[in-house]
Amino acid sequence: MRRSGSALLASLLVLGAPLVAQRAPRPTAFQQQHQAAVNRLIDAALADSAAWNRIAELGDRFGPRFSGTPNLEQAIDWIMAEMRRDGLDNVRGEPVMVPRWVRGEESAELLLPRWSKLPMLGLGGSIGTPAGGIIADVLVVSSFADLEAKAAQARGKIVLFDVPFTSYGQTVQYRSQGAIAAARAGAVASMIRSVGPFGMQTPHTGGMAYDSTVTRIAHFAITMEDAMMLHRMQDRGQPIRVRVQMAAQTLPDAPSRNVMGEIRGREFPNEVIVMGGHIDSWDVGTGATDDGGGVVIAWEAIRLMKKLGLQPRRTIRVVGWTNEENGLRGGNAYRDQHRGELADHILAIESDGGVFAPTGFGFSGSDSARAIVRQVAGMMARIGPIAIGASGGGADIGPIMAEGVPGMGHQVDGTRYFWYHHTNADTVDKLDPLEVARNVAAMAVMAYVIAEMPGRLPR
């Protein structure tokens, strides 16, 4: 009767009938063993706004933390001093050479069919324009295919890619590859509609690429509103002319550091759970959501363990990786500098999607490990439903995951993240202190239980 039973179940679910009362599943022995410590961590995380305050102080004191700048290195010095004051173990900065791109003065204006200033941001890695700028007519296209269809009209123009946001992965192609495609069609510069789902006249910056076989042209972002307006002007048959001036340049690599502190394991100190985010940001805003918040919630998680006297069996190492945004040098350097320890890296957890309401963790690892991390997620129902997604990771832990370390990507409500991403509006006021505190709890519980359980998380 199994079949008819499940058919009945299916039909009841389709009808939306409540088959069983909403009740938490009976805790497993594993969960019972750790629940008391978990509750203490959650209580401590939710008790105050310490994490939000730290994100605010980091941004207010140092501003944007762009690779190669004194701001970033001073922020790293401050973090190390604060981590030592918190009593963390093995606080240090590990040297990494990072690229140094300098934006310089930049501006764009619409000359025809009417004059208007165009708020803009040069894209990271772009060359500058000649000192007097570039004045050229504009060709608006909707996609790479549309550019190919109109290639005969692109020569000598500034190409605008007016591509609406679908997903970040899809739309970002125009930021990263747009200058190559436009130059191949003979354009003298290229601009994109800022990559985001919603605008308030905020341009978004971000990384871009050149191809050694194609002329390098200046590449920049204008606001969503202006991109759509230029597109309407073209559709009406109006002439569009823009002047752009950019003093961007790439200087020699500069020294930076991956910054880290630990709570040392009491029984297996050489076994490491590594977690954190990237400490660098773009050169606009203060990198509150991308990714100061990711670093701070991981840091707060082990600060609370220290404060509560919860020293787990294994080491938890919190890392602020440097240069995620325009080079990934920090994540690669971590792999190289810790290659000998990677067999004992039990789990890597990265937070780089903002610190809005927590929703779970994407996990990439074995089925037996997945069953365990699901149980850990089940222990933090107090902070909201925490799901374990089918796969997860992150840019900074990617290099060590490629060497076999199980990886986890911290996940949050992503509704607003790309509103602020890589803009001057990425500041702490966009974050809610209680949501940030719930993220601290999620990170603390996940890392603590995996570090504390008697056996290693299986690979």
What residue ranges bind Zn ion (CB under 5 A)?
A: 290-291, 352
Out of 106, 262, 300, 324, which one is annotated catalytic? 324
**Among residues 88 and 318, whose Cβ is nearest to Zn ion?**
318
CA proximity to 287, closest of 323, 318, 317: 323
Q: Give the shortest CB-352-to-Zn ion separation in angstroms.
A: 4
Residue with smaller CB distance to Zn ion, 124 or 312: 124
| CB of residue 290 to Zn ion, shortest distance in Å | 4
| Dist. CA 118–CA 193, nearest whole Å | 12
**Distance between first and last Cα of the chain:** 38
Do 102 and 251 contact (CB within 8 A), yes or no? yes
**Taking the complex as a whole, how short is the minimal distance between the CB of residue 394 and Zn ion, in angstroms?**
9
**Token pair of 242 as six digits:** 């823009």
Based on the residue annotation, tell me whether 106 is a catalytic residue of this protein: no
Q: Measured between alpha carbons, how far is residue 219 from residues 129, 159, 161 in Å?
A: 10, 10, 11
User: Nearest to residue 322, comparing CAs of 124, 100, 123, 97?
Assistant: 97
For Zn ion, the closer of residues 292 and 312 by Cβ is 292
Beta strands in 194-313 (DSSP E): 218-222, 241-246, 249-263, 268-278
Write down the least CB distance from residue 324 to Zn ion, Å: 6
Residues in the chain: 459
Q: Report the candidate in 397, 434, 444, 322 with the shortest Cα–Cα distance to residue 47.
A: 434
Q: Measured from the CB atom, is 262 or 325 closer to Zn ion? A: 325
Return the bridge partners of 121, or none.
221
CA distance 196 to 216: 25
Q: Which is nearer to Zn ion, 73 or 280 (CB)?
A: 280
- For residue 95, the Cα-to-chain-centroid distance in whole angstroms is 22
What tokens appear for 278 in the block? Answer: 């990237």
Question: Among all residues, which ones are annotated catalytic?
Answer: 324
